[in-house]
Structure 1
Amino acid sequence: MTLEKQLKQKTYYEMFINEHENIHPIRVLGVAFQEEAEKDLPDLSHIRFAQGEVYFHYKDFEAAIFKWENIINELEPWAKKNTADAYYELGLLSTAEDIYCAIETDNSTLNTEVALQLLSLYIERGKLDSAVSVIKKTIVANPDYPNVTEIARTFFEEQQDWNNAIELAVNEVRRTESLDWIDIIIAYVEKGVTNSFDPSYFTEALILLFGLDKEKFEQLVSALWNSYKNEESYLSWLSEINHLLLNLDLNRKDDWPCLSRFHKETYFSLIDGRYFIKKIQEFIPDLLTNWLRLADNKNLVLSSAAVLSWNELFPASISVSVVNEAENLISITETDMDELEECLTLFDSIMNWAQAHDMGENNRVKWLVEQLIDFDTQHFFITGLSGSGKSAFVNTILGEDLQDSPTSSVVMFKDSEGVEITEITDREITNLEGFSDFQERMDRRRNALEAIIEFRRPSAFLQENRVAFIDTPGLKGSPHYDRSEVLKNLHVADTVLFVLDANASFTDKERVVVAQIQELAPDIPLHFILSKMDTIADEQEAIRIFDETRSTILAYLPDSKVFAFSSQYEGSPQLKDLKEFIQSIKNTRNIEDNRLAKLLFFIRTTIASLLQKRMDVENQLVESLRWNEEMMLKVTGAVNQLKDTEAQKTKAFMKSYRAFQDAIVMDISETVPKMLKECSVLIKEDSNFSKIHLELNDEMNRRLQNYLGQQVMPKYYRLLQEWIERCKAEFEHGQEFLNEMGESFNQMYGEERLKLECDFKVLDDWRRDTDRMTSSFQLDSINILLRRTPSQFLLKSAGKLFGALPQNKAMLYNKYKSFVENEDYAEAARLVSQQFFRPFELFEKSLERDVTMFFKSPLTILNRCIEEARSGIQTNEEMLNNMNTNPEMFRDPLTLFEVRLRQFEWMTVAGKGMQTIY
């Protein structure tokens, strides 16, 4: 045993035991101590050091400390360390820490042992930062010390200090090239604790591992790939790993199944529409290059097609040598890929993206694709010019007059156990209740071609022949109409049956249509039904027409067949012949490949239609913005016009109201003074002049009450009613104006949206209020002769003073009479007018508010339209701005879908020598 190992294990004392193994160490060392002490120059430090160890093992820590504190030779640093150990055992951690930290030595073993003790002490005291610091320094200073890295790893894991644990593992891989540490890193990655590290952190370890063990290399790369997949650093990882792989000597023969799978999954996830092209195109070429270099046999064709399709849409992004290799591999390599499933996956991705971006349900194309993958049924596309007998042909086969009028929509007749009729449009799928609903759809003309109707019913003919008939509206012979409307569903067909009228067969118009069909679908067989043969009376003439028609068709279309048909012939023999004809023309050759090509065609047309929809949406937004701006301008003008009308009406009503009110005031001011002066006749020479003023005042008030109640109030009531009628006429004129305005706006809106109805209840309120206020009037007594004017005061005083003297009555009579006849009653008239009109003051003040209430509803509706237009403008501007600012939000996903489409075309149609449908 080496000295350092004895010092570490505190077994240095065994050097003194030797042949005294049967004697207690304390006694042996005691004897040695006495013997050494008796020497002239004793050296007791070694023995004291050994005695301290024995005391320590027997847990006599104080004795051990006493011994170790007196060491002054080369063992002194170890003695200090042991002293600290003793204090540690005694629980005096602070003292132990101070001693550990005070030890200074060049001995790496001692330093490491001190550090490990400090690590335990710091952990126990909860000083974790200090613990981390001391163990990291120890690893740097003495990484090869036994178990030190394992102790560090255990400590970091217990503390869940994953950053330091990962750093330790990566550094140890670099230092030791140990696969055990690789396994530890893989475990950390799979645990999900490495995600916060930049992907480049592991590059050096990966390069090293590639040279050590390729299987472990693939395992670690796979673990890292999975760990970064859902992190923000995912794209950084892809860039880093693909750059790394490009610089490694990869060989497809080494077999990289996991890396091949990860490249495949990653490539398809990147082009599924979630990312902008500018974000991924910088590293997709590297990704595809690496995939081609390490693809397994199962994915070799797929990776080659991916390279070629990406290079087509982004030329020169991939090196020429890689493209050439891909072209070579795809031409010589067989694949067992489920092509149909892959294409359907692409189609579903496009549909899901379209739905998520408010591009409609696209039910028509979904339905068409469903028909394509029904390999048990062949689709016969029945077409012909209008009036050719096409509907009669279909009705005869189905054994029922299902169509008693020209076909307006595309209808697929299919065998089924029960009757089920479904209407499919882009927006919705509707189950029709029965034949009446179906016939109603057939009778319509508006937007009829936007729908496809699937008519499922029991049919022996369809079931036995395993076919479905796609009946179409009659063609017009117009190239533009037929191409864009009826024939756009042509590619769902496996065979075309063109119905001809035997009375005028294969006309120029029909040849034009046939040429269109061949141009649109050159791969679909085209055959003919010569209908209405029963209308030709002479049998020889019928045979001649049939032979001539067939010869003409064969000269034009050598592979086509012709079947003579009549709805009047006996059913069973004709159906038997027709069955043989159908079986002879059924297109069974390479039907799955043909259907796959059609599926790719519908995917391509769907991508194109979505791009067009995007343009349509932008155009609609521009038009909607312009329309809303125009409407807001017009409605704002209408609001201002309505407010002007309201103000004018209010002004006119107030003016007319005050005019007849002023007339009443004038009448009162003229009549009241006369009436009051006439009261002078009531004064007699024998009147009681001490009370005459009271009697006269009462009589004057009575006469005023009668005058106001019997003359003024009826006249005022009549004037009010006349005024209300005039207001009614004005209100009705205003309503007519608003009706015209609402009709004009509704025409612009294209719907009955505005109903600008005014509140005529205002007139009812006015009538009710005027009836109530004019039903009666009670004049409060007016002080006419009891006021304290100087003349009245003198006259009343004189009456009281001299009225009892007979000789003075003549004088008072003349004075009173003169006073009453000459008094100015203007103030009295004013008070009478004021009191008369007082009940009507609130009515007058509310007139302006009432006119406002009359126009309130139309004004509210118009203001709401302004707000809606303003909101529409804001929304449209935001959407347009977003579309124009980030056009790639819409364009990029569709471009990437096209990349995937071209990839499958490389793998399927082009790879098998089939013609691509465009």
Structure 2
Amino acid sequence: MTLETQLKQKTYYEMFINEHENIHPIQVLGELFQEEAVKDLPDLSTIRYAQGEVYFHHKDYEAAIFKWENIINELEPWAKKNTADAYYELGLLSTAEDLYCAIATNNLTLDTEVALQLFSLYIERGKLDLALAVIKKTIISNPDYPNVTEIARNFFEEQQDWNHAVELAINEAKRTESLDWYEMLISYVEKGVTRNHAPSYFSQALFELFSLNKPIFERLVYTLWDSYKNDESYFTWIREMNQLLLNLDINQSGNLSVLSGLHKEAFFNLIDGRYFIKSLQDFIPDFLTNWLRLADRKDTVLAAAAVLSWNELFPASISMSIVSEAEKLISMTESDMDELEECLTLFHAITNWAQSSEMGENHRVKWIVQKLVDFDTQHLLITGLGGSGKSTFVNLVLGEDLQDSPTSSLVMFKDSTEEEITEITDREITSLSGFSDFQERMDRRRNALESMIEFKRPNVFLQENKVALIDTPGLKGNYNDSYEVLKNLQLADTVLFVLDANAPFTDKERTVLAKIQELAPDIPVHFLLSKTDTLVNEQEAIRVFDETRTRIQSYLPDAEVFAFSSQYESSQQLKDLKEFIQSIKNTRNIEDKRLAKLLFFIRTTIAGLMQKRLDVENQLVESVRWNEEMLQKLTGAVNQLKDTETQKTKAVVQSYRAIKETIEKDIAETVPKMLQECSTFIKEDSNFSKIHLELNDEMNKRLEEYLDQTVLPKYYRLLQDWIEGCNEEFVQSQEFLNEIGESFNHMYGEERLVLDCDFKVLDDWHRDTDRMTSRFQLETINILLRRTPSQFLLKSAGKLFGALSQNKALLFNKYKAFVENEDYIEAISAVNQQFFRQFELFEKSLERDVILFFKNPLNLLNRSAEEARSGIQTNQEMLTNMNTNPEMFRDPLTLFEVRLRQFEWMTVAGKGMQTIY
């Protein structure tokens, strides 16, 4: 046992008792102390030191401290450390800490022991920051000291100080090259505690691990890759891996299957449409270079195809030596991929992206792809010019008249256990309830070619021949029309072109055939000569058949011709037809041919989506322009309607007031005369003390009769005429609004604006005028009671009424003259006030009523204007966004094209094909 070990374990005292094993160490050391003490120059420090150890082990800490405090030789630093240990055991932690911190030594072991004691003391006192500082310093100064790194690791883990734990694992892995530390690092990554470290933090450790142990290297790379995969540092990690792998000695025989799989998965994730090309371009070339270098056998073709496809779309981005290597590998290495599965995976990725990007459901293409992967059924497309007898032939095969009129949509007739009719468009799939719905679709012409119909029902002929008939609308023979009808031609395995025996193989038909050859040169075309029964005789029919077949085969040497007539015996003709269909069925390599068709539809889908993006932009531009035009017209219509409303309001109010003024004029002219005529009521023998009361009653009675029986009827008639006049004005306004509405609806293309005014206003006026003119009851007016008779006469004669009361003749004359000459202005005013009182509210509401009349049209126009304004803003924002970030749409489609080209390269792998750019 070395001296340092004895000092660490406090067994230095054993040096003095080896010869006295049966005697207690205290006794032995005591005797030695006495022997040394009597010497002239005694050296008691070593014995005291040993005695302190024995006391310490027997928990007599105070005695141990006493002994160690008197050490003055080379053991003094150890004695101070032991003294601090004793205080530690006594629980005097503060004193122990001070003593530990005061020890100054160059002895690395002692220094480490002091540090470990301080570390434990700091933890016990809760001074975790100091404990961390001490253990970190200790690791740096003496990492090989027993258990130091293990103590540190346990401390970091207990405190969940993962940054320091990871740092310790990284440093120790690099320092010791111990695989255990790499395993520890892998466990930390799997726990997810390394994500806040930059990817470059692990590069050196990975570099060194590669030469130590490749399986563990792959495991560490895998766990790190997985931890960064959904993190914002993912691209940084890939760049770091690119640089690391480029600096490693890697070759395809290196058996790095995990790394190869990681690159495969990552590449497909990177080009699945989620990322912009500008964010990929700077690291994908190195990424593909590394993948090609390390790809295992099953991924070699995949990696080479990825290199070539990326280089096609982004020329010169990858080193030519790597491109050449990829060409060599793909020409020499066969691919064992499931081509159909890979193709469908790509197709679904495109359609899912299109759906998530609000570019439509693409139900039509999805349906086509579904039909193409049904390898048990051959697709026989039947086409021809309109009137060629195509529908008659289809009905014969199907056994009933399912086509009783020209086809307007592409229809697939297929055998099935149950009848099921489905209409498919890009936007939706609709189940049709039965034959009547199907026929309604067949009769439809507008947008008919945008839909396809699948008609499934039990059919023996189709079942036995394992064939589905695809019936197209009749062709007109011009180029554009043919394309619209034949744009889904790739769905077919074989084309059966129907010719009219009365005029077979015309220039129009050859134009259509040229279009078919252009669109699908690999699809065989055969012919059905229809209506042969209409020829004059059998010899003529044979001649026409032979001549037609000769002309066809000079044009298409492999084409077959079948003669057909609805008049021939049905069962025999079906038997012959079955043999003909079996002879022309294109069954050889059907899976390869269908795969080529799938690739065609994938490519057309990508192109279609790219075009749709352009169409969307054009539609947005057109929508903005159209809405701006509509807003201008709607705003003009709103202003025009407001002007009309103002004019009508003014006209209605003025015309009403004219009536009112007429009545007021009648009252002003009639009432004074009427009241003046009341003078006849005055007699010479009248009781002049009461005459004014009697006369006032008489005047009120006559006024009430006049107003109720003369004025009200006249007012009623005038108001009815006025309402009729208003009705004519309102009808004119409604006709004007109807014209405006029709104009706008023509522009909208639908009945959107129904600018109906509220004619109930007129009903309300009729009701109100009927009510107000039904009867009038006059409240008594003080016509003559405002002045007493004596006051009348005093004013005229200048004498008191009492002095004149005896002269009745004079009173009679004066009273009569007064009644006959009075102007009755105040009475007229009182009459008007009462008579027109109930009409005042009516008059005040006229303006509101006219506004109500025009309220609905005005609201509709304003709402439409606001919709146009909102449409302008929304579409302009979308346009701005599309033009600001064109890569949002373009880049995913470009990356899908990379993936498509990668797949196409894989289909020629191992066939020695040369690269063609």
TM-score (norm 2): 0.93
Q: Which residue of 1 aligns with 2:896?
A: 897
Query: Tell me, what secondary structure is at the counterpart of 1:589?
Result: coil
Does the 8 Å contact 1:56/1:64 carry over to 2? yes
Does the 8 Å contact 1:553/1:560 carry over to 2? yes
1:303-342 residue pairs with structure 2 within 5 A?
303-342=303-342
CA 1:689–1:243: 2 relative to 1, 3 Å: same
Q: Which residue of 2 aligns with 1:503?
A: 502
Q: State how far apart, in whole Å, the 1-side matches of 2:532 and 2:416 are.
A: 31
Query: Tell me, what secondary structure is at the counterpart of 1:53?
Result: helix
Does the 8 Å contact 2:496/2:527 carry over to 1? yes
1:231-242 residue pairs with structure 2 within 5 A?
231-242=231-242
Query: Tell me, what secondary structure is at the counterpart of 2:496?
Result: strand
Q: Which residue of 2 aligns with 1:145?
A: 145
Is residue 147 of structure 2 the alignment partner of residue 134 of structure 1? no
Over the aligned positions, Cα root-mean-square deviation in angstroms equals 3.1
Q: State how far apart, in whole Å, the 1-side matches of 2:738 and 2:780 are.
A: 52
Q: Deviations over 1:97-152 (max 9, x none)?
A: 33333333333323322222232233333333232222212212222222111111
Q: Deviations over 1:742-793 (max 9, x none)?
A: 1221111111111112222222222322333333434444444555899949
Q: Gaps spanning 5+ residues in structure 1: where?
A: none
Q: Which moves more between the two structures, 269-278 or 36-45?
A: 36-45
Q: State how far apart, in whole Å, the 1-side matches of 2:863 and 2:528 are.
A: 62
Q: Deviations over 1:282-324 (max 9, x none)?
A: 1111111111111111111111111111111111011111111
Does the 8 Å contact 1:910/1:916 carry over to 2? no
Q: Which residue of 1 aligns with 2:123?
A: 123
Give the AA of the match of 1:435.
F
Does the 8 Å contact 1:417/1:457 carry over to 2? yes
1:114-193 residue pairs with structure 2 within 5 A?
114-193=114-193
CA 1:773–1:369: 2 relative to 1, 3 Å: same
1:732-747 residue pairs with structure 2 within 5 A?
732-747=731-746
CA 1:544–1:288: 2 relative to 1, 3 Å: same
Is residue 551 of structure 2 the alignment partner of residue 556 of structure 1? no
Offset at residue 912 of structure 1 (A): 5.1
Q: Which residue of 2 aligns with 1:621?
A: 620
Query: Tell me, what secondary structure is at the counterpart of 1:662?
Result: helix
CA 1:678–1:917: 2 relative to 1, 3 Å: farther
Q: Which residue of 2 aligns with 1:723?
A: 722
Q: Which residue of 1 aligns with 2:654?
A: 655
CA 1:710–1:800: 2 relative to 1, 3 Å: farther
Query: Tell me, what secondary structure is at the counterpart of 1:253?
Result: coil
Q: State how far apart, in whole Å, the 2-side matches of 1:84 and 1:787 are.
A: 128
Offset at residue 681 of structure 1 (A): 5.5
CA 1:464–1:775: 2 relative to 1, 3 Å: closer
1:564-575 residue pairs with structure 2 within 5 A?
564-575=563-574
CA 1:654–1:320: 2 relative to 1, 3 Å: same
Query: Tell me, what secondary structure is at the counterpart of 1:132?
Result: helix
Does the 8 Å contact 1:689/1:803 carry over to 2? no
Give the AA of the match of 1:602.
F
Q: Which residue of 1 aligns with 2:17?
A: 17
Q: Which residue of 1 aligns with 2:825?
A: 826
Q: State how far apart, in whole Å, the 2-side matches of 1:87 and 1:652 are.
A: 113
CA 1:477–1:775: 2 relative to 1, 3 Å: closer
Q: Which moves more between the two structures, 813-822 or 137-146?
A: 813-822
Is residue 187 of structure 2 the alignment partner of residue 206 of structure 1? no
Q: Which moves more between the two structures, 267-276 or 740-749?
A: 740-749
Does the 8 Å contact 1:301/1:329 carry over to 2? yes
Query: Tell me, what secondary structure is at the counterpart of 2:499?
Result: strand
CA 1:762–1:501: 2 relative to 1, 3 Å: closer
Q: Deviations over 1:532-581 (max 9, x none)?
A: 33344544444343333333333333323333333333344444443333
Give the AA of the match of 2:274.
R
Give the AA of the match of 2:635.
T
Offset at residue 238 of structure 1 (A): 0.9
Q: Which residue of 2 aligns with 1:218?
A: 218
Q: State how far apart, in whole Å, the 2-side matches of 1:676 and 1:560 are.
A: 116
Query: Tell me, what secondary structure is at the counterpart of 1:267?
Result: helix
Q: State how far apart, in whole Å, the 1-side matches of 2:158 and 2:572 are.
A: 89
Q: Which residue of 1 aligns with 2:578?
A: 579
Give the AA of the match of 2:455.
F
Q: Deviations over 1:795-838 (max 9, x none)?
A: 49999975388557677666656655555643343233223322
Query: Tell me, what secondary structure is at the counterpart of 1:19?
Result: coil
Does the 8 Å contact 2:793/2:801 carry over to 1? no
Q: State how far apart, in whole Å, the 2-side matches of 1:769 and 1:556 are.
A: 89
CA 1:97–1:665: 2 relative to 1, 3 Å: farther
Q: Which moves more between the two structures, 734-743 or 607-616?
A: 734-743
Offset at residue 729 of structure 1 (A): 2.2
Q: Which residue of 2 aligns with 1:53?
A: 53
Query: Tell me, what secondary structure is at the counterpart of 2:635?
Result: helix
Query: Tell me, what secondary structure is at the counterpart of 1:252?
Result: coil
Q: Which residue of 1 aligns with 2:466?
A: 466
Q: Which moves more between the two structures, 334-343 or 38-47?
A: 38-47
Q: State how far apart, in whole Å, the 1-side matches of 2:267 and 2:628 are.
A: 46
Q: State how far apart, in whole Å, the 1-side matches of 2:804 and 2:473 are.
A: 125
Does the 8 Å contact 1:289/1:307 carry over to 2? yes
Q: Deviations over 1:448-471 (max 9, x none)?
A: 322222233333333333222222
Does the 8 Å contact 2:359/2:609 carry over to 1? yes
Query: Tell me, what secondary structure is at the counterpart of 2:7?
Result: helix
CA 1:41–1:785: 2 relative to 1, 3 Å: farther
Q: Which residue of 1 aligns with 2:429?
A: 429
Q: Gaps spanning 5+ residues in structure 2: where?
A: none
Does the 8 Å contact 1:380/1:497 carry over to 2? yes
Does the 8 Å contact 1:802/1:808 carry over to 2? no
Does the 8 Å contact 2:361/2:427 carry over to 1? yes
CA 1:486–1:719: 2 relative to 1, 3 Å: closer
Q: Which residue of 2 aligns with 1:344?
A: 344
Query: Tell me, what secondary structure is at the counterpart of 2:836?
Result: helix
Q: State how far apart, in whole Å, the 1-side matches of 2:914 and 2:619 are.
A: 37
Give the AA of the match of 2:257.
P
1:835-846 residue pairs with structure 2 within 5 A?
835-846=834-845
CA 1:518–1:43: 2 relative to 1, 3 Å: same
Does the 8 Å contact 2:382/2:390 carry over to 1? yes
Is residue 80 of structure 2 the alignment partner of residue 100 of structure 1? no
Q: State how far apart, in whole Å, the 2-side matches of 1:693 and 1:85 are.
A: 136
TM-score (norm 1): 0.93
Q: Which residue of 2 aligns with 1:6?
A: 6
CA 1:156–1:799: 2 relative to 1, 3 Å: farther
Q: Which residue of 2 aligns with 1:867?
A: 866
Q: Which residue of 1 aligns with 2:635?
A: 636
1:246-325 residue pairs with structure 2 within 5 A?
246-325=246-325
Give the AA of the match of 2:768.
D
Offset at residue 410 of structure 1 (A): 2.1
Give the AA of the match of 1:882.
N
Does the 8 Å contact 1:306/1:903 carry over to 2? yes
Q: Deviations over 1:9-67 (max 9, x none)?
A: 22233333332332333333344444444445555444443333333323333443444
Q: Deviations over 1:189-244 (max 9, x none)?
A: 12211111111111111112223222222221111111111111111111111122
CA 1:242–1:915: 2 relative to 1, 3 Å: closer
Q: State how far apart, in whole Å, the 2-side matches of 1:792 and 1:22 are.
A: 162
Q: State how far apart, in whole Å, the 2-side matches of 1:252 and 1:718 are.
A: 109
Aligned-residue identity in percent: 78
Q: State how far apart, in whole Å, the 1-side matches of 2:613 and 2:447 are.
A: 22
Is residue 766 of structure 2 the alignment partner of residue 761 of structure 1? no
CA 1:504–1:699: 2 relative to 1, 3 Å: closer
Q: Which residue of 2 aligns with 1:488?
A: 487
Query: Tell me, what secondary structure is at the counterpart of 1:376?
Result: coil
Offset at residue 326 of structure 1 (A): 0.7
Query: Tell me, what secondary structure is at the counterpart of 1:426?
Result: coil
Q: Which residue of 1 aligns with 2:230?
A: 230
Q: State how far apart, in whole Å, the 1-side matches of 2:435 and 2:777 are.
A: 81
Q: Which residue of 1 aligns with 2:528?
A: 529
Give the AA of the match of 2:299.
N
